[in-house]
Chain A
Amino acid sequence: SQTIHQWPATLVQPVGSPLSLECTVEGTSNPNLYWYRQAAGRGLQLLFYSVGIGQISSEVPQNLSASRPQDRQFILSSKKLLLSDSGFYLCAWSVGGLEQYFGPGTRLTVT
Chain B
Amino acid sequence: GENVEQHPSTLSVQEGDSAVIKCTYSDSASNYFPWYKQELGKRPQLIIDIRSNVGEKKDQRIAVTLNKTAKHFSLHITETQPEDSAVYFCAASYNDYKLSFGAGTTVTVRA
> Which residues of A approach B to under 8 Å, CB–CB?
32, 42-44, 46, 49, 51, 59, 90, 94, 98-105
Contact = CB atoms under 8 A, between A and B. Distances in A.
Q: How large is the interface on B (under 10, 10 to 19, 20 to 34, 35 or more residues)?
A: 20 to 34
Nearest to A45: B101
Nearest to B104: A43
Nearest to A43: B103
Contacts of B89: 43-44
Interface in B77-108: 89, 93, 96-104
Given A44-B44, A105-B43, A100 B103 contact: no
Interface of B: 32, 34, 36, 42-46, 49, 89, 93, 96-104
A98 B96 contact: yes
A98 B93 contact: yes
B98 A46 contact: yes
A46 B104 CA distance: 15
Contacts of A90: 43-44
